[in-house]
A and B are shown apart, each in its own frame.
Chain A
Amino acid sequence: MPADSNLTMTCEAVAELLPEVVDGAIPAPTAVTRHVETCLRCQAELVQYRKVLRALHQLRTEVLEPAPGLFTDILTSLEGAGERRAIRSLLRQRRAAYVGAIAGATAAAGAAGIIVLASRARHRKLRLAG
């Protein structure tokens, strides 16, 4: 085999790299480019990869027709989620109100207790003084 530049890489090694470099996202190493330039078999394989890639890109323009009713089903499930959220929010508000009421009642009871105790202490002092 002649020792020219296209033999610095084997077809097997180039074939391994073609799927990675075909979209141009990663620049092909110079050795690969050189090999492909002079190797018909690898050129053919690269063309095949490009065709596959082009066909994949074309699929993007194709939009499938969903079975009837999907749009309504989506809206219904969103509706359900919205209602559940509203109910949860209502329950949260009620819970907050309930906790607030209990806290208020507890505070009021505490304050009343303090007043009663203070009043009793004052009466006791007056009796002792009298």
Chain B
Amino acid sequence: MPLDQAELVAAAKDGDREAFDELVRQTYADAFTLAYRLTRNEEDARDVVQEAYLRAYRGLGRFRADARFSTWMYRIVANCASTALSRRSRSRHDDLPDDAPVADDRPEADPEMMAEATILRDRVDEALAHLPARLRAVVVLRDVYDLPHEAIAAELGISEAAAKVRLHRARRRLREQLFPMRGEEAARAG
């Protein structure tokens, strides 16, 4: 059996089920990671990943050979996660609105320590969890997974302009959470 993803995709398109299973084996942890980053809930992430592979399997005929399978999967996962989050927000109201301030519950946090890359990465991950889902989705897809605005907008069902606005807000919120400056804000306001 071929192990290269392009060959596996070609074989799967020809109806080779084992080739598709191998594609799943190679990519499911990565897909789960993205699903978890978007939903911040393990159960939801599992459901999203299962649904995403079902959609991928059914839509494999539409997959363009010049694209990367993993990037295609990211888009499907993003779309499934978006649907799952909309469903969840209808049944639960645990998300903060876009502009609600997020309290920094770590007043002892030392900005100097945050300069350490590893620590900062962990804190960014934690800060992402505090972002409203709609902001988190855009910043994760753009700044972590490098998807273009156009793809993000298409998969989340929003306009490109809205995607850019959300990215702007998300980056600003992350910076404010990770580097809570400061009497400067007051100085700027004054």
Interface residue? B174 (CB, 8 A): yes
For residue A7, which residues in chain B have a CB less than 8 angstroms away from its CB?
none
Given contacts A11-B188, A48-B175, A57-B144, contact A67 B46 (CB under 8 A): yes
Contact B50 A74, beta carbon cutoff 8 Å: yes
Interface residue? B54 (CB, 8 A): yes
Contact A70 B121, beta carbon cutoff 8 Å: no
State the main secondary structure of chain B at its contact with A.
helix
- How many positions in chain B have a CB within 8 Å of any CB in the partner chain? 47
For residue B169, which residues in chain A have a CB less than 8 angstroms away from its CB?
19
For A60, the closest partner residue in chain B by CB is B144
For residue B93, which residues in chain A have a CB less than 8 angstroms away from its CB?
none
Within 8 A of B (CB), among A35-70: 41, 45, 48-49, 51-60, 62-67, 70
| Bound form: Cα–Cα A20–B166 in Å | 11
- Please encode chain A, from 70 to 81, with 1 for each CB lying within 8 Å of some chain B CB and 0 for all others: 110111011001
For residue A70, which residues in chain B have a CB less than 8 angstroms away from its CB?
28, 32, 46, 49-50
The stretch that binds A, out of B18-26, B61-69, B77-85, is B18-26
Contact B54 A77, beta carbon cutoff 8 Å: yes
For residue B54, which residues in chain A have a CB less than 8 angstroms away from its CB?
77-78, 81
Instruction: Please pick, from B37, B57, B123, B171, the residue contacting A49 in the complex, using a CB distance under 8 A.
Output: B171
Given contacts A15-B188, A59-B121, A63-B33, contact A52 B175 (CB under 8 A): yes
| Bound form: Cα–Cα A74–B25 in Å | 10
- How many positions in chain A have a CB within 8 Å of any CB in the partner chain? 36
For residue A82, which residues in chain B have a CB less than 8 angstroms away from its CB?
17, 57
Interface residue? A31 (CB, 8 A): no
Instruction: Please pick, from A11, A19, A58, A74, the residue contacting B53 in the complex, using a CB distance under 8 A.
Output: A74
The minimal Cβ–Cβ distance linking B54 to chain A, given in whole angstroms, is: 5
Q: Pick from B25, B49, B123 the residue with the most CB of A within 10 Å.
A: B49
Q: Pick from A60, A74, A82 the residue with the most CB of B within 10 Å.
A: A74
Subset of 26 A-B contacts with CB under 8 Å: A19-B168, A22-B171, A23-B143, A41-B184, A48-B175, A49-B171, A51-B115, A51-B179, A54-B117, A56-B143, A56-B174, A59-B37, A59-B121, A59-B144, A60-B144, A62-B33, A63-B29, A64-B32, A66-B29, A70-B49, A73-B50, A74-B28, A77-B54, A78-B17, A78-B24, A78-B54
Query: Contact residues of B with A, CB < 8 Å?
Result: 17, 20-21, 24-25, 28-30, 32-33, 36-37, 42, 45-46, 49-50, 53-54, 57-58, 114-115, 117, 120-121, 123-125, 139, 143-146, 164, 167-169, 171-172, 174-175, 178-179, 181, 184, 188
